[in-house]
Amino acid sequence: MRYFILCVAIVMSLSYNVIAQVPPAPMSSTGSAKISGASWTKTNNVDFVLRNGKGNTVTNVKDLVYLKTDTLAVLDKTGRVIYLLEDFKDAPIGTVGKASVLTSNIGKDFYLTNPYSFITYVNDESYAGEFSNIQGNYIDYLDGVGATYYLDGVRSFKNWGAKNITKMATAPDNTYWYRDADKDQYGVLKKGKPIDYTNATTEKDGNNLIVKINNVKTYILEGYYTIASFVYKPVKLYAGSTATTTTVASGTVGCVEGDCINGWGKWQYEDAYYDGFWRNAKRNGYGLYKWEGVGKYIGNWENGSMSGYGAYLADNDDNIIGEYSNGKLNGMGFTVFGDEWSQGIYVNGELKTPYTFYTNNVEVGCTAGDCENKYGKMVWSNGDYFVGFFKNGKLYMGTYTFANGDKYSGMFNKENQFNGIGRYFYEDGGYYGGEWTNGKFNGRGYYHNKDLVQQIGEWSSGTLHKKFK
């Protein structure tokens, strides 16, 4: 027995005549009707008891999204069976109705459809996305998942249907292409929708097709002239002689510099840009994301999301700094909004365990706050000092300022060494941002000296050994 989901699926535009559903025979509202096979009994406005064909109660049930009818689809999460509870929505309490099996052996990633609408499920959670209908199949981009899925045959069902879906291969900005050989046409879909072909032109390059946007070479459709029709492939970003490095005119949306697949690159958005490391065409590792007129985030990324140590610095001087997960503070951190400072443990961006910051009336040692397991300030006799979070009396996360003016902000290990993601500001204007191990540059990182000469790539024990730029 479960609460059903009152949710409206997105409306689909259908290019053919809708086939009307045949209404089921009326069921008794007294609960005394004899139903053969699987059945449901409505116990209140939102609850029901579901029994399978053997008369056994099905307990691990999830209500699926209503698709513009009174029929409720439910998922037996244990048996992986989808049932249809016909006319359930407005049925009186006590009604006994037939539960028909729509499909069995359904996976956790699937779609549910009828002639009026559809909904996509990933890991048994519903998502409404941006999609294109190509020959009755959908290319469906789900922003909440950050991925694109292939919905095979979603428009082939004359009534209700459900089927497992396929996650498409990783592509730059979820952009894919296909060929219609019979019509000698190509298609490019970005986040589930066709690109604006009025600004697109093409040119042949051997067996490849180059797509130009506003006369700027943007996409490579690799193997275009020999590929079968309606095979969906990730685009490759144009790079002159390579497929991963791009340098294009200013004002272009896309990868405007460097390697936005598996290296260091700059991606220009309409009102923002990202300059940093990439892995599998997603923001990954150290990088800077700048929202024009709003602020910037500098820190670690995982799979396209702010994750790990990072600092959001707003243009109005508000700060949100600490441990991020899924784009929000999750862990230790502090915020500055106007004149108000807060620090402590955050959950989904909200302060759940505040740490107070108070003077200890000493000039050396723990001069303020709690330097054991909370937030405090430690001052050394040589003039160095640290402000931030402590664990077991050790530096954990915060800013260490040297007497000579150098400064480090980031994570530490149990030996009080710079470790993980961190930013080092040299007094002479030099800078390093990226990965550290035991106090040394180690992993992917960005460095420039006082003359702004850059070194970007993979570091080992303080030495650049693989240059990305």
DSSP SS3 for 174:
helix
How far is Cα 467 from Cα 117, in angstroms, rounded to an integer? 51
CA distances from 373 to 189, 367, 378, 416 (A): 51, 15, 13, 14
CA-wise closest residue to 181 among 141, 230, 145: 230
Question: What percentage of the chain has pLDDT greater than the value 70?
Answer: 89
Distance CA 333, CA 399 (A): 12
Strand, coil or helix: 416? coil
Q: Which two tokens stand for residue 277?
A: 């490391």
The predicted pLDDT at position 36 comes to 60
Phi, psi of 89 (to 5 degrees): -55, -50
pLDDT greater at residue 230 or residue 14: 230
Residue closest to 43 by CA, chosen among 17, 84, 4:
4
| Residue 463 pLDDT greater than 70, yes or no | yes
Judge whether residue 424 has pLDDT over 70: yes
340: β partners: 337
Buried b (16+ CB within 10 A) or exposed e, 201-210: eeeeeeebbb
Specify the pLDDT at position 158. 93
**Could you report the per-residue pLDDT of 429-441, keeping only the tens digit for each?**
999 999 999 999 9
Q: How confident is the model at residue 252 (pLDDT cuts 50, 70, 90)?
A: low
What confidence tens digit (pLDDT) does each residue in 190-201 have? 999 999 998 899
Strand 110-114: give its sheet, edge to edge.
125-127, 117-122, 110-114, 161-164
Model's pTM, two decimal places? 0.50
Evaluate whether 82 touches 64 at the Cβ level (below 8 Å): yes
Nearest to 83 by CA among 66, 68, 104: 104
248 pLDDT more than 70: no
Q: 308: left (phi > 0), else alpha (psi -120 to 50), else beta?
A: left
* Mean pLDDT across 122-141: 96
**Residue 261 and residue 197: Cα distance in Å, rounded?**
24
- Torsion from C-alpha of 221, 225, 227, 228, nearest 10 degrees: 120
CA-based nearest residue to 142, from 123, 162, 157, 160: 123
Q: Which of 310, 317, 274, 276 is nearest to 295 (CA)?
A: 317
Contact of 442 with 435, CB cutoff 8 Å: yes
Q: What is the pLDDT of residues 309-363, one digit of tens each?
A: 999 999 888 999 999 998 899 999 999 988 889 999 999 999 999 999 999 999 9
How does pLDDT run across 359-410, given as a tens digit for each residue?
999 999 999 999 999 999 999 999 999 999 999 999 999 999 999 999 999 9
C-alpha span between 385 and 459 (Å, rounded):
27
Q: Which of 150-159, 209-218, 349-358 has the lowest mean pLDDT?
A: 209-218
159 DSSP β-pair partners? none
Binning the chain into helix, strand and coil, the percentages to the nearest 5 are: 0, 55, 45
Tell me how far apart the alpha carbons of residues 454 and 469 are, in angstroms, rounded to a whole number: 8
